[in-house]
Amino acid sequence: MKKSIVNLAEPIITIYSGYSNAISILLNYKYGVDWFIHNFLNIISVYDYKNNILLSDFMNMKNVFFASTRNFSPDNIFCPPIKSFSVPRQYLSDNKINIIDYIKYYLDNNYCCCFHVDNTYINYSNMNRIHDIFIYGYDDDSEFIYLSDNLYAGKYERVTCTYEELNKAYNSVAFDGAWDSKGIFNHFSSYEKLNFVKFDSNFIFSFDKKAFIDEMQIYINKTEYDLNYTPKIIETTLNEVEIYYNVKIYDVLEKYILRSLESKKHIDHRQIFLLHDHKNALNYKVKYLLDNGLIKNKDLLKTTKQLIKTTITLVNKVLKYNLNFENSKDRFEEYKILLRDVKSNELDVINHIVEELS
C-alpha cells in the first residue's frame, strides 16, 4: 500500500486559497523564496462608498489578481513560479475515471491538486457549501486524503478526509460543462476543472537589492497608479468606486469601519486580515534580510512580530463585533488607535530597511 505527501511550507499568506496554495509550494525552493521576497508588498483597495463595500488585495507584478475568484489556470493573471495545467471534470465523468485513482497518480509525481467539492460530505467541515480544496497527499493504509482548506471565518487549516468522503464531496458538485460553441474548454470556469500544480523547475529568480529598495519606496510613496488595464478586483464591483493604494489602505479602513459601526452592519474581517498577512509577509522578509546578512538591526524583527500580534487583535475585535453589532464611540477610537499604531510602526520598519540597504 502506498503513501505520498508533497512537502509544503507554511504559506505566510492565507487570506485567499489561491495565495496560500501557491506560496506553500514555492517557499520550499530558493528561487521561490527570492521571488516571494519581491512580491506581496503593494496593495490595492477598492471602496464602494454607496454600499460600504471594501475589497482589498495584493498588487503583484504587472497585474492585479483577486485570488478568491479563481485558482490556478494555465493562462492565469496570477503567475508565480508554478507549473500548472487543468483537466475538465467532464473528462473524468465521460471516461468513468475514479477521482481518487486519478489524483493519486499526479501526487506520486509531486503535483498537488485543487478543485471544488461539496463540504457537506466531509467531516472536518461545519460549513455546507461548495468550496475549493487543495490536496497534497494520500495514504492507502488509512485511506486518508491530506488537504488544506479555509474553514471557519476563512481560517487556513490542514486536515484529512477519507477516500469515501472525498468521492461523495467531489461527485456531489453539479456541473454543466464548460465547453464553448467551438468545443474549446474554458479553463477559467473553476467549478468545471481539476487543477494540478507544482513548482516550475525551470524557474530562476535572484534577490535584487536595488529592485527591493525601489519596491519598498513605492509602497511608502506611491499612492496613485497610471494603469493601462482594469484590475480584476475593480471588475467585481458594479458601482462607482474609490481606489486606494499601498499605505492608503489605513485611510480607507478607518472610513469603512466607521460607516459599518454607525449603521451597525457586518464588517468584512478579511479586509483586516489582509493587514495581518501583509505584516506576516513583512516579518518573513525582515528575517530573510537578517539571515542573509543584508541588514543587522534585529530589533526590526521584534517590531514586525508585534505588528502581527496587533493585526490579529484587530481581526478578533471585528469578529467579536460581528456577533452582536454592538457599537460605541469608544469602539471606533480603539480601532483607529490600533490601525494608526500599525501604520506608524510599519513605516518605521520599512524606512530602517531602506536606510540599511542603501
**What would the mean pLDDT of 228-240 be, rounded to a whole number?**
56
Does residue 218 have a pLDDT over 80?
yes
Give pTM, 2 decimals: 0.87
Give the rounded percent of residues in the chain with a pLDDT score beyond 70.
Answer: 82
The domain ranges of the chain are 43-66+209-357, 82-199
pLDDT at 316: 92
Arithmetic mean of pLDDT, 241-262: 91
Ranges of H-type helices in 154-231: 163-171, 209-221
Q: Nine-digit cell at 58?
A: 495584493
Say yes or no to pLDDT of 237 above 80: no
What per-residue confidence (pLDDT) applies to 62?
A: 36
H or E stretch including 243? Answer: strand 242-245
- Measured distance between the N- and C-terminal CA atoms of the chain, rounded to whole angstroms: 56
Of 15-29, 33-47, 68-82, which range is least confident? 68-82
Look at residues 357, 267, 260 and name the one whose alpha carbon lies nearest to residue 316.
267
Tens digits of residue pLDDT in 269-309:
989 999 999 999 999 999 999 999 999 999 999 999 999 99
Give me the pLDDT at residue 61, please. Answer: 41
- Distance from the Cα of residue 64 to its chain's centroid: 13
- Specify the range with the lowest mean pLDDT, choosing from 12-26, 48-62, 208-222: 48-62
